[in-house]
Structure 1
Amino acid sequence: MAMLKTTGLTKMFGDFKALDGVDLEVEAGEVFGFIGPNGSGKSTTLRVLLGILQATEGKAEIFGLDAWKDAVEIHKRVAYVPGDVNLWPNLTGGEVIDLFIKLRGGKPDGKREELIRRFDLDPRKKCRAYSKGNRQKVALVAALCMDADLYILDEPTSGLDPLMERVFQDYIMEVKAKGKSVLLSSHILSEVEKICDKVAIIQQGKIIETGTLKELRHLTGTIVQVETKVPIAGLRELKGVSGVTDEDGAVSFQADTEELDAIMRHISAFGITRMDSSPPTLEELFIRHYEKVDHPGGGG
């Protein structure tokens, strides 16, 4: 069952089209990565889903309920971390966490203490004294304390150091193991790569690609680095080869999966002395998709 689904979601601000026919679907027990640069429409999509903004056209549903009309009911089962965390400056971090727990009808328990310890947060400090990273920790602890069915996280690790990013990633995998769903908006590609089952790439309000990382990598083939006894002739002309670079005899290129066998046979004739291959990183995949959209039919 889809925990979250949008169909043809469009949002206008005057003459500006912030969202243009966005289709998303997040299943139960799935961590879904929503990636794109700042200004691409990620936060606007999340605000429509949370009932903060009303869509101009299309449908947005969570748990099969209308995101705008049934927002109050939906929020009982959703935890949210905003991209820009603002806290009450005169309250301590612990007081803010407790306030959010009480607003949800809960009581502080061992889970709160465990999360405070894992995120290395001092809950006694006033929020005005917190760094951006510590404000983010307060928001994360408050959200992850909740036994939600869906976690909507907008740039959740902004301001966290690498150690705390790892703590966050580990906890999200624990949430997933309990059958919960996560919609994670991010431009940190390594984060998405580590924890997400599926990814949607958004640019200028449009979804330009959706799929599992395996499916998206299939579209972009394999990164190959190779050294040979004699220079490889005719590599750039081979079908399925792109992005060829040659530095001191070490040749790198991208090979389409369906042409890999023929490409390897061609290269082997030049005497392979060393070869490495790897799937493209999400970063490379991301750049390639943006090139396709910015330069249709062009390089990439």
Structure 2
Amino acid sequence: MEKVIELKGLQKRFGKFQALHNVSFSVHAGEVVGFIGPNGAGKSTTIRILLGIIKRDAGIARIFGKDVWKESFDIHKRISYVPGDVSLWGNLTGGEIIDLFLKLHGGGSQQKRDSLIQRFELDPKKKAKTYSKGNRQKVALIAALSVDSDLYIFDEPTSGLDPLMEAIFQEEVEKLKKEGKAILLSSHILSEVERLADKVVIIRQGKVVESGTLEELRHLTRTTVTIETEKDIAELKNVVGIFDFQQKNHQATFSIDTRYLNEILLAATKLGVKKFEAVPPTLEDLFMRHYEN
């Protein structure tokens, strides 16, 4: 796949504060990369560098093989960007602002624009100063999605939207992915990232602490198991690889190190298994592991 975003050893300092330490990751065509981390982790700084808004101190930052600072004008012709807090011209209507954005970009589909206005249930005739945060967000999303770009950068795009509108956004992202577009998605809604992302990059205190597909990262947290047996389940308590054992009669819930799954299953079958449920770790589990540490 074509490498659309390439970051290697990215560094940025604000005075004495080191905002980014050797940040490296890539986004390919037809790929959704979830970019997550706690507030102040460096997500927005990274995105501003990608957009050519601020200059990096060191490292490589390219989009479409072009330098994001020196060739930002050419890059911007092929990207769409939605920030998490949208400011609009209060005396213009939502429809007028969307049309202005499309003209500034130099293209866009009127048919897609009209379809998205209906899907997101936006009243385009109302002035922007009357809009709620969610409606301001809809204006930016409609404008961005109406343009046929090669890269879409979303920084907390569903901030202020209700769950129904979040679902519509997710459907639109899945369409873009099928069309071979590259998408960088920064979001605090971990279920949204888990549903959409092919790869996850977790940043904390300006450093990338984990990156890879969800399946590649799941080994970092333990699977939760609930099991019911005919014989006394307490015999499982001391089996290697079992943690946080909690028993109620013949049923127990515990977490397991998947390296010892075979041994745990063999021990369980000797007790006569009546019920077995295994829940793999979620992205939230993985995120909280780094957040709490």
TM-score greater than 0.5 by the shorter chain: yes
Structure 1 counterpart of 2:138, one-letter code: K
Give per-residue Cα distances to partners, 1:90-147, cap 9 Å, x unaligned.
1111111000000012266101001111111111111111111111100100111111
Counterpart contact for 2:108–2:146, Cα < 8 Å = no
Moved more, 163-172 or 209-218: 209-218
Distance 1:242 1:52, change over 3 A: farther
Counterpart contact for 1:232–1:267, Cα < 8 Å = no
Q: In the alignment, does 2:73 pair up with 1:56?
A: no
Instruction: Please state how far the C-alpha of 1:57 moved relative to its aligned partner.
Output: 1.5
Match of 2:120 in 1: 119
Matches within 5 A, 1:159-198: 159-198=160-199
**Structure 1 CA distance for aligned equivalents of residues 9 and 247 of structure 2:** 44
**3-state SS in 2 of match to 1:6:** strand
**Structure 1 CA distance for aligned equivalents of residues 114 and 163 of structure 2:** 22
Counterpart contact for 1:6–1:58, Cα < 8 Å = yes
Distance 1:214 1:98, change over 3 A: same
**3-state SS in 2 of match to 1:261:** helix
**3-state SS in 1 of match to 2:161:** coil
Instruction: Please state how far the C-alpha of 1:289 moved relative to its aligned partner.
Output: 3.6
Q: In the alignment, does 2:215 pair up with 1:208?
A: no
Matches within 5 A, 1:36-47: 36-47=37-48
Q: In the alignment, does 2:261 pair up with 1:260?
A: yes
Q: TM-score by structure 2 length?
A: 0.94
Distance 1:231 1:3, change over 3 A: same
Distance 1:276 1:72, change over 3 A: same
Match of 1:231 in 2: 233
Matches within 5 A, 1:1-300: 1-106=2-107, 109-229=110-230, 230-233=232-235, 235=237, 237-246=238-247, 250-291=251-292, 294=293
Counterpart contact for 1:92–1:123, Cα < 8 Å = yes
Counterpart contact for 1:244–1:253, Cα < 8 Å = yes
Give per-residue Cα distances to partners, 1:23-76, cap 9 Å, x unaligned.
110011101100112211111110011011111111111001111111111100
Counterpart contact for 1:224–1:278, Cα < 8 Å = yes
Counterpart contact for 2:4–2:27, Cα < 8 Å = yes
**Structure 2 CA distance for aligned equivalents of residues 37 and 44 of structure 1:** 13
Q: TM-score by structure 1 length?
A: 0.92
Number of corresponding residues: 291
**Structure 1 CA distance for aligned equivalents of residues 71 and 148 of structure 2:** 20
**Structure 2 CA distance for aligned equivalents of residues 16 and 247 of structure 1:** 51
Structure 1 counterpart of 2:6, one-letter code: K
Distance 1:156 1:79, change over 3 A: same
What stretches of structure 2 of length at least 5 have no aligned partner? none
**3-state SS in 2 of match to 1:168:** helix
**Structure 2 CA distance for aligned equivalents of residues 246 and 61 of structure 1:** 54
Instruction: Please state how far the C-alpha of 1:238 moved relative to its aligned partner.
Output: 3.5
Moved more, 270-279 or 115-124: 270-279
Structure 2 counterpart of 1:233, one-letter code: E
What stretches of structure 1 of length at least 5 have no aligned partner? 295-300
Instruction: Please state how far the C-alpha of 1:239 moved relative to its aligned partner.
Output: 3.1
**Structure 1 CA distance for aligned equivalents of residues 249 and 57 of structure 2:** 56
Counterpart contact for 1:81–1:152, Cα < 8 Å = yes
Give per-residue Cα distances to partners, 1:237-295, cap 9 Å, x unaligned.
4333334444666422222222111011223333333221121111112222445xx2x
**3-state SS in 2 of match to 1:233:** helix
**3-state SS in 1 of match to 2:69:** coil
Moved more, 244-253 or 194-203: 244-253
Distance 1:36 1:243, change over 3 A: farther
Give per-residue Cα distances to partners, 1:208-248, cap 9 Å, x unaligned.
1101111111333422112234232352x433333444466
Structure 1 counterpart of 2:153, one-letter code: I
Give per-residue Cα distances to partners, 1:145-196, cap 9 Å, x unaligned.
1110000000111111111111000010111111101000011110011111
Counterpart contact for 2:137–2:158, Cα < 8 Å = yes
**Structure 2 CA distance for aligned equivalents of residues 280 and 165 of structure 1:** 23
